[in-house]
């Protein structure tokens, strides 16, 4: 993953892995989870199996477990994007309800459950907070396969796992900007205005972060 | 489709994955990705980054009856979402959704020099339009105050930087002054988005600009 470097910038093989910076202060009403909690591929495959169980047999227990794990993170994501706690609660419920309804469209050879939920939450945020349409790419003609290859799915889950670990190991300054870019509903220039950092610095830190991720994923 | 040479930048793919681009840019990105497997794969990676950022960050406490409320929502709206049919025609599905049809449904307006445009409805912050440039015709020399994305849907154009054919996207910023010329042979049809008005370098185009809203 992350091998399609358009600008052909190759990560410096000698880049030392960053240390973890000081933990940020907790937002009120938000519980900080352990930064480096490992979610191993087996656990990721379990989430995949849960989605399949919802698709095949409307398994409520599987849904309850997915809900307990993912819904609080979706809610936090929406709150950090500017939603009020009530609105974030409502939207997080909608996102999880969408997961149930679209379970048949999930393809574990293309995305982890976390990635898929992120895209549902992102679209819901655009819908609710920005009141905009969200143009989506055309579905590939072959679509998700009826029974995706387990081996392919496992490879994808392992790669996403590696990506998560690499992200956690980014230097604090770079990781913070990546988080802002995804969480804040901010463009790079808006991040510049918010942080007081020059736009060039923000762009180069994000580029460095992506190079490191690509280097690890090679 | 010939091989696509000009792709989306990391910043655009990341912005699309994060959901922070203006709607007009989202349309160009979604249309290009519909035509380009490389950028589709790259987008999946940027979405995976978003997923991991979300999963390794804080969590917020849910309301007490949250799960029950969600199960109620599921019970009350159980219909499966419909899958859009695969497009036939020139435009990929996301663009057809904005045009309400394919090429023959576009309502063109002449903007001078043989060039026609059709502005598509999007939210504020950026605008997006279809451009029809007759074969061999030049779009007036112009620069950019912001970012301009130009995706070729049919034919090809050449400017000071390179040649852009069907599927290629040119990402232009403040640094670029260019005069795109449609290649001889086939009329060129592009989807172009800007987040600031273009700067035309001649007097006549500037006057025309006031009336056509480019």
Q: What is the span of the domain harbouring residue B135?
A: 1-214
Report the alpha-carbon distance of residue B58 to residue B111 in Å, rounded: 52
Query: Is pLDDT of A156 > 70?
Result: yes
**From A101, which residue of chain B is nearest by alpha-carbon distance?**
B80
pLDDT for A217: 75
A window 69-108, beta carbon within 8 A of B: 71-77, 79, 85, 88-89, 92-94, 96-97, 100-102, 104-105
Per-residue pLDDT band for A140 (boundaries 50, 70, 90) equals: confident
Length of chain B: 214
Report the alpha-carbon distance of residue B61 to residue B10 in Å, rounded: 34
Which domain CATH number covers B79? 2.60.120.10
Which residue from B96, B196, B75, B104 is spatially nearest to B143, judged by alpha carbons?
B196
Report the alpha-carbon distance of residue B12 to residue B169 in Å, rounded: 12
Lowest mean pLDDT among A61-65, B30-34, B110-114, B144-148: B144-148
CB contacts < 8 Å between A and B, how many? 227
With contacts defined as CB-CB under 8 Å, which chain A residues touch B86? 138-139, 141
pLDDT for B57: 79
Query: Is pLDDT of A86 > 90?
Result: yes
Residue of A47, A66, A182, A211 for testing the chain B interface, max B β-carbons within 10 Å? A182
The secondary structure of chain B, three-state, reads CCCCCCCCCHHHHHHHHHCCCCHHHHHHHHHHHHHCHHHHHHHHHHHHHHHHHHHCCCEECCCCCHHHHHHHHHHHCCCCCCCCCCCCCCCCHHHHHHHCCCHHHCCCEECCCCCEEEEECCCCCCEEEEEEECCCCECCCEEECCCEEEEEEECEEECCCCEEECCCEEEECCCCCECCEECCCCCEEEEEEECCCEEECCHHHHHHHHHHCC
pLDDT for A148: 63
Query: Is pLDDT of A55 > 80?
Result: yes
- Which residue of B27, B50, B58 is in closest CB contact with A122? B50
Pairwise CB contact (< 8 Å): A94 & B73: yes
Percent of chain A exceeding pLDDT 90 equals 37
Pairwise CB contact (< 8 Å): A73 & B62: no
With contacts defined as CB-CB under 8 Å, which chain A residues touch B92? 137-138
pLDDT for A30: 41
Pairwise CB contact (< 8 Å): A67 & B70: yes
Q: Where are the domains of chain A?
A: 39-133, 169-218
- The interface predicted TM-score of the complex, written ipTM, equals 0.87
Pairwise CB contact (< 8 Å): B58 & A63: no
Taking the Cβ of residue A48 and every Cβ of chain B, the question of whether any pair is shorter than 8 Å is answered with: no
Report the alpha-carbon distance of residue A60 to residue B88 in Å, rounded: 40
Q: Which of A1-15, A164-178, A194-208, B147-161 has the highest mean pLDDT?
A: B147-161
The CA–CA distances, whole Å, from A7 to A4, A11, A119 equal 9, 11, 25
In angstroms, the first-to-last Cα distance of chain A is 7
- B158-188 tens-digit pLDDT: 998 999 999 999 998 877 888 889 999 999 9
- B69-80 tens-digit pLDDT: 999 999 987 566
Residue of A87, A118, A202, A209 for testing the chain B interface, max B β-carbons within 10 Å? A118
With contacts defined as CB-CB under 8 Å, which chain B residues touch A170? none
The contacts of residue B158 (CB under 8 Å, 6+ apart) are B164, B180, B181, B183
pLDDT for A9: 33
A111, B48 in Cβ contact below 8 A? yes
Query: Is pLDDT of A15 > 60?
Result: no
- B32-54 tens-digit pLDDT: 999 999 999 999 999 999 999 99
With contacts defined as CB-CB under 8 Å, which chain B residues touch A35? 56
Q: Is A31 helix (H, G, I), strand (E, B) or coil?
A: strand
Query: Is pLDDT of A4 > 80?
Result: no
CA distance A195 to chain B (A): 17
pLDDT for B86: 59
With contacts defined as CB-CB under 8 Å, which chain A residues touch B85? none
With contacts defined as CB-CB under 8 Å, which chain B residues touch A119? 47, 50-51
What's the domain count of chain B? 1
Taking the Cβ of residue A130 and every Cβ of chain B, the question of whether any pair is shorter than 8 Å is answered with: yes
Q: What is the CATH number of domain A39-133?
A: 1.10.1740.10
Name the residue with higher pLDDT: B113 or B29: B29
The average confidence (pLDDT) of chain A is: 79
Radius of gyration of chain A (CA): 18
pLDDT for B213: 53
pLDDT for A3: 44
The average confidence (pLDDT) of chain B is: 87
With contacts defined as CB-CB under 8 Å, which chain A residues touch B27? 135
Which residue from A156, A163, A164 is spatially nearest to A48, judged by alpha carbons?
A156
- A118-137 tens-digit pLDDT: 999 999 999 888 888 999 99
Pairwise CB contact (< 8 Å): A6 & B56: no
Return the number of other C-beta atoms located less than 10 Å from residue B165's C-beta.
19
Query: Is pLDDT of A20 > 50?
Result: no
- Tell me the mean pLDDT in the region A159-177: 90
Q: Is A175 helix (H, G, I), strand (E, B) or coil?
A: helix
With contacts defined as CB-CB under 8 Å, which chain A residues touch B14? 181, 206, 210
The CA–CA distances, whole Å, from A13 to A155, A195, B211 equal 24, 30, 54
Name the residue with higher pLDDT: B30 or B212: B30
Question: Which class is domain A169-218?
Answer: mainly alpha
Query: Is pLDDT of A185 > 80?
Result: no
pLDDT for A21: 30
- Tell me the mean pLDDT in the region B89-107: 94
Pairwise CB contact (< 8 Å): A76 & B59: yes
């Amino acid at each position: 993953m992350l091998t399609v470097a358009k600008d052909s910038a190759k990560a410096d093989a000698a880049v030392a892995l960053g240390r973890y910076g000081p933990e940020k202060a907790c937002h009120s009403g938000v519980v900080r989870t352990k930064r480096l909690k490992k979610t191993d591929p087996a656990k990721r495959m379990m989430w995949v199996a849960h989605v399949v169980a919802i698709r095949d047999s409307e398994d409520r227990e599987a849904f309850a477990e997915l809900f307990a794990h993912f819904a609080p993170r979706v809610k936090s994501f929406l709150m950090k994007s500017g939603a009020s706690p009530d609105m974030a609660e409502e939207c997080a419920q909608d996102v999880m309800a969408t997961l149930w309804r679209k379970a048949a469209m999930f393809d574990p050879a293309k995305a982890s459950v976390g990635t898929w939920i992120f895209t549902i939450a992102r679209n819901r945020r655009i819908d609710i907070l920005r009141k905009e349409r969200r143009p989506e790419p055309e579905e590939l003609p072959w679509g998700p396969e009826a029974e995706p290859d387990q081996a392919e799915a496992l490879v994808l889950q392992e790669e996403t796992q590696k990506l998560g670990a690499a992200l956690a190991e980014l230097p604090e300054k770079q990781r913070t900007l990546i988080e802002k870019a995804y969480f804040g509903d901010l463009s790079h220039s808006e991040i510049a205005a918010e942080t007081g950092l020059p736009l060039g610095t923000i762009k180069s830190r994000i580029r460095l972060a992506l190079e490191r991720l690509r280097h690890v994923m090679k | 489709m010939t091989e696509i040479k000009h792709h989306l930048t990391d910043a655009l793919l990341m912005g699309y994955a994060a959901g922070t681009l203006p709607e007009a840019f989202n349309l160009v990105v979604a249309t290009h990705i519909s035509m380009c497997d490389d950028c589709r794969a790259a987008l999946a990676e940027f979405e995976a980054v978003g997923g991991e950022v979300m999963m390794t960050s804080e969590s917020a406490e849910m309301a007490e009856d949250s799960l029950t409320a969600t199960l109620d929502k599921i019970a009350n709206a159980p219909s499966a979402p419909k899958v859009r049919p695969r497009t036939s025609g020139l435009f990929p599905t996301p663009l057809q959704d904005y045009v309400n049809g394919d090429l023959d449904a576009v309502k063109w307006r002449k903007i001078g020099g043989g060039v026609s445009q059709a502005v598509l409805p999007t939210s504020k912050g950026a605008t997006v339009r279809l451009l029809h440039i007759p074969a061999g015709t030049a779009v007036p020399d112009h620069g950019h105050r912001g970012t301009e994305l130009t995706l070729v849907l049919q034919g090809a154009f050449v400017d000071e930087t390179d040649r852009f054919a069907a599927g290629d996207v040119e990402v232009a910023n403040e640094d670029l002054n260019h005069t795109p010329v449609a290649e001889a042979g086939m009329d060129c049809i592009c989807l172009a988005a800007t987040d600031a008005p273009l700067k035309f370098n001649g007097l006549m185009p500037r006057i025309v600009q006031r009336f056509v809203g480019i």
